[in-house]
Amino acid sequence: MNRLYEEVRMPLAEGTTLLHPERALLRWEGMSGRSDIGQICYLTRDTSSPQRTRRTFDPTSFCSERARVVRLLVTQLSGRMALGARRPATIFMDLRVVLDFVNWADSQGLHQVLCDEKATAEAVHRYFRERREQVSLGNQNRNSVASHQRSLLSMLREFFRSDDFCVDARVLRHQQDAWVPTAVPDAEAQAALLAWADALFSSISTLVLDFKPYPVRVTTVRGENLCLVPHIYGRSDGDDSRGLIGWNLETGEPRTREELRTRMVEAGANNPRERSWNIARLAAKHLAAANADAQSSIRRSHASIAASCFAALFLAETGINLAQLLAMKWSPELATSLQDASVARQKFRQVKYRAGGKEITFTVSLGFMPKLRAYLALREYLVQDAEWDALFVVVGHHAQLRRLTGLSTKFLERLYRRLDTLGIVLPRIGARQWRAAKQDWAVSNHGPVIAAKLMGHSLETALRSYSNGTDAAHKAEMGAFLASVEKTVLGPGNDPAGSIGSAVGICIGFHKPAPIAASVTVQPDCRSTEGCLFCDQYRVHADATDIRKLLSCRHCVRLVCGRADSIEQYDRSFGAVLRRVDFLLDELRRRDAALVEQIEHDVDIEGNLDAFWSTKLDQLYELGVA
């Protein structure tokens, strides 16, 4: 059955009663998305389709108890909004987490969820267990699941008015190492888009700003080329695609009537003489119109492609995130600031200007400055006398109406589709991947400190891409690690006389520290755990106990390593310790790979740390440093 829907604006006006909870579709202030909370009134439903019209509900499964639950939830959410402490988008996500949970529960036949507190608690434990399994299989992000679990418990504790609801639930902890960096895209895929985007932007800018005639040949730095003709249709069917048969796309010139007639005859067309004449006349008409009007619809359409190409180039050049790009404003001050751009570093310029009441800052290379100036001229061509404050602007689908619009969040996808229509089929690269590519280039060429400045983020973020330290430090330590590993790793049950247990293994000479080599990054110290790892008296068993100690140590160090104030501090402490632990773990894997893998999963995914490190972790959380 298809349901009826009734929009409910949130927060619910005081004293309002939902007459038909099963129809409720919540609308949130400032958001286009709506929440179908009424769906849970039907115990049997299929809501897997993103299109509401394709979702199905069994009318016989309507549950009046769930209708009561929906009324309570809407009241609860309205109360949260009334407090003003949370944005509508946050409360929207709180409800989404609850709906995901109820959808899962109903699919498992657990229909007492939200209607009965005990049944709900049992379902929560089962739900959390399944989510942990999905995280361990790599199907879900650990930190996302951890956030959703906390949101769900918060909502349910408020719903049942019990702070002790599911107090024993195993909630995943956030982990620094659970953050998975966006993969750097393939270098060839990057080069392909950048080459075409640069060529199209430069060629089309010249076409429209200097009022050059069609056709125009576009050639990339890699030698690829195409001819732009004054026609909007694409080349999905090659050179004979709709609207393009009248053009020789190799030269960009209109085909003669004789050429067209021959092609019509070969294609078996009816009345080839008349059709070839009509096609030739239409191509000539389009060419004349485009070359007679500087603001013709086809010129504006192509200028819009050039603007999108520049936005892609700007994204790759600056490495800013997509939200920042879309929010950037224009002001007359920008053109002036390009003349006064300050030097951020040799070969880079920092551009600062005020727009929309805010200071906007970004850094580009010297070679990019001419492109930036050219784009401002192209933007002026598109905007004309219209009032438009967005820095990046394109024209809508109806270019002949001169309708302006800002870039959408999916502008890269649309650009790739526009390139497809020109016969340029490229591997897709998203905005986050372009940022990752810029970060990778900046770290590789200038180091994390400069990378942090160029990318406009913190050193902590740069350090995430620098977790293995410098090559020099790594090579210096490798010799010391190799020299000591044979005597450091002991077989199970091999306890030298006088040895005592430690947080990372055992010590065979307490209060007699000695470095494993003449020069080590961390000096051995019996008062610190990290000092043990670099001490000649340190030993570790190839057994479950000591493997868990090492993995627990690594787990905690990873959580706090982003707190380093500088690269030097990172290398002196966190980086050196992580490399030493990983080196020892590699050696332990050679002895018993299955055991290390099993305990690694238990520590990093399930959160079952060694007792000492579990206490240490709790302290870190209490201090707010993890």
- Averaged pLDDT of the chain: 82
Window from 144-153, 212-221, 256-265, 286-295 with minimum mean pLDDT: 256-265
Question: Is 251 a residue whose pLDDT tops 90?
Answer: no
pLDDT, position 188? 87
Distance separating alpha carbons of residues 110 and 98, to the nearest angstrom: 14
Question: Is 424 a residue whose pLDDT tops 70?
Answer: yes
The tens digit of pLDDT for each residue in 467-485 reads: 333 344 444 444 445 545 6
Distance separating alpha carbons of residues 71 and 37, to the nearest angstrom: 10
The tens digit of pLDDT for each residue in 485-525 reads: 667 888 888 888 888 999 999 999 888 888 877 666 678 88
Question: Is 239 a residue whose pLDDT tops 80?
Answer: no
What mean pLDDT is predicted for residues 209-216? 94
The tens digit of pLDDT for each residue in 133-185 reads: 887 666 788 888 988 999 999 999 999 999 889 988 988 877 655 455 566 78
pLDDT, position 187? 81
The tens digit of pLDDT for each residue in 569-609 reads: 665 667 778 888 888 898 898 888 899 999 998 888 788 89
Tokens standing for 296?
């013709």
**Which of helix, strand or coil describes residue 40?**
helix
Contact 460, 560 (CB under 8 A): no
pLDDT, position 460? 55
Q: Do the strands 24-27 and 34-35 form a parallel or antiparallel pair, or are they unpaired? A: antiparallel
pLDDT, position 43? 94
pLDDT, position 407? 86
What mean pLDDT is predicted for residues 454-462? 57
Tokens standing for 124?
């929560």
Question: Is 448 a residue whose pLDDT tops 60?
Answer: no
**Which of helix, strand or coil describes residue 117?**
helix
pLDDT, position 75? 92
Distance separating alpha carbons of residues 426 and 435, to the nearest angstrom: 18
Residues of the chain with CATH 1.10.443: 176-230+296-466
Distance separating alpha carbons of residues 609 and 605, to the nearest angstrom: 10
The angle formed by the CA atoms of residues 400, 406 and 408, to the nearest 5 degrees, is 110
Q: How confident is the model at residue 103 (pLDDT cuts 50, 70, 90)?
A: very high
pLDDT, position 477? 46
The tens digit of pLDDT for each residue in 1-15 reads: 677 889 999 888 877
Greater model confidence, 238 or 264: 264
Q: How confident is the model at residue 566 (pLDDT cuts 50, 70, 90)?
A: low
Question: Is 345 a residue whose pLDDT tops 70?
Answer: no
The proportion of the chain whose per-residue pLDDT surpasses 90, expressed as a percent, equals: 32
3-class DSSP string for 381-396: HHHCCCCCCECCEEEC
CA-nearest of 530, 500, 536 to 518 is 536
pLDDT, position 514? 87
Run of H or E residues at 56: strand 56-57
pLDDT, position 159? 94
Q: How confident is the model at residue 528 (pLDDT cuts 50, 70, 90)?
A: confident
The tens digit of pLDDT for each residue in 534-559 reads: 888 889 999 999 999 999 998 888 87
**Which of helix, strand or coil describes residue 250?**
coil
Distance separating alpha carbons of residues 530 and 521, to the nearest angstrom: 11
pLDDT, position 472? 41
State the architecture of 176-230+296-466 in CATH terms: Orthogonal Bundle (1.10)
**Helix residue spans in 384-503 (DSSP H):** 411-421, 431-455, 459-464, 471-488
Question: Is 83 a residue whose pLDDT tops 80?
Answer: no
Distance separating alpha carbons of residues 290 and 422, to the nearest angstrom: 18
The tens digit of pLDDT for each residue in 305-339 reads: 999 999 999 998 888 878 788 888 888 888 887 77
How close are the terminal C-alpha atoms of the chain, in Å? 50
pLDDT, position 487? 75
